[in-house]
Structures are given as structure tokens and as C-alpha cells.
Amino acid sequence: MEESKKRVRRSVEERAAELDKKILAHREAIKALEEKKADLFRPKKRRRTEAEISKELISKAKKAGMSSKEIAEKLGLSID
């Protein structure tokens, strides 16, 4: 005849502690998911195109008092 193992009964406190651990793990998972959701609604920085960057550089140079010829000379270009 086989010896049957007796079932070990855990106390109420042990079971409650185990459930508390699970609750804490799920709360952390929920918090991480809420962060991901919030990231979806945050506006992302739009990347500027090369044309936009060039326009901005030229406008800043002109604001600094440079003429088109001076800008071309600095870039090593000749304007006829």
C-alpha cells in the first residue's frame, strides 16, 4: 500500500500574504500599461525636413544682418 502524503494546510495569514503579493504585481503591471497609454496621447516632436532646416538657417543669417551674397561666400558658392 502506498503512503499518501497529507495535504499541508496554510494559515489564513499565509494565503493573504500570497494574495497581497499578487495584487502588488498586478498594480505594477497596470501602472506600466497606463504609462504606455499616456505615451500614446503625448505629442511627438515632428522631424524637420532638410528644406525646413535650410530655410531656417538662411532666415537666421539674414536676421543677423548677412546678405545673400555674404551667405553664398561663407558657403563657398558664387552667385552671378
For residue 36 the three cell numbers come to 504606455
Mean pLDDT of 50-79: 87
Confidence of residue 36 (pLDDT cuts 50, 70, 90): very high
pLDDT, position 80: 66
DSSP 8-state code for residue 76: T
DSSP state of 64: T
Q: Is the per-residue pLDDT at 3 higher than 90?
A: no
**Alpha-carbon span 11 to 80, nearest angstrom:** 93
C-alpha dihedral sign at 53, 56, 60, 62? positive
Distance separating alpha carbons of residues 43 and 38, to the nearest angstrom: 10
pLDDT for 77 equals 82
- Which H or E run includes 17? helix 12-41
Question: How high is the pLDDT of residue 31?
Answer: 98
Instruction: Reply yes or no on whether the pLDDT at 53 is more than 70.
Output: yes
